Amino acid sequence: MIIIENLQIEYNDIKLFDKISFEVHNCDRIGIVGKNGISKTEFDKDIREMSEEQKKKVLVAKSISEQANIYIWDEPLNYIDILTRLQIEEVLLNFKPTVIFVEHDETFIEKVATKIVCLENNVLKN
């Protein structure tokens, strides 16, 4: 189990999280919803010649193929086609890795998340 207490994250003077707390248990797949953003273009410096969809597929595949105790994904479905989305759902539901992910697709969250952490005004909403 991982206990996250009073997590506070800032990036370029933008407060992303302010004192949020929650627990992560083995096999939890935690979806984070709510405003949490930094422009993703700041992080896409590699594999520039691929389409956004191709980049996302490579990043998700690379992540899940590496053994880890916990995976942290930021909007794994951005630019993803429906077939790949279904494959990601299947992997998460069958493989059951411990994952914390930010995603805005409510159907995906409802299908794969075992717990939902909702942020409102940069704080945890009960």
Residues 57-107: pLDDT tens digits? 888 888 888 888 999 999 999 988 888 899 999 999 998 899 999 998 999
Using the Cα atoms of residue 23, residue 77, residue 122 and residue 110 in order, give the sign of their dihedral.
negative
Within 10 angstroms of residue 87's Cβ, the number of other Cβ atoms is 15
pLDDT band at 23 (very low <50, low <70, confident <90, very high): confident
pLDDT band at 39 (very low <50, low <70, confident <90, very high): very low
Query: What was the pLDDT predicted at 35?
Result: 58
Structure tokens at 93: 């539901």
Q: What is the pTM of this model?
A: 0.60
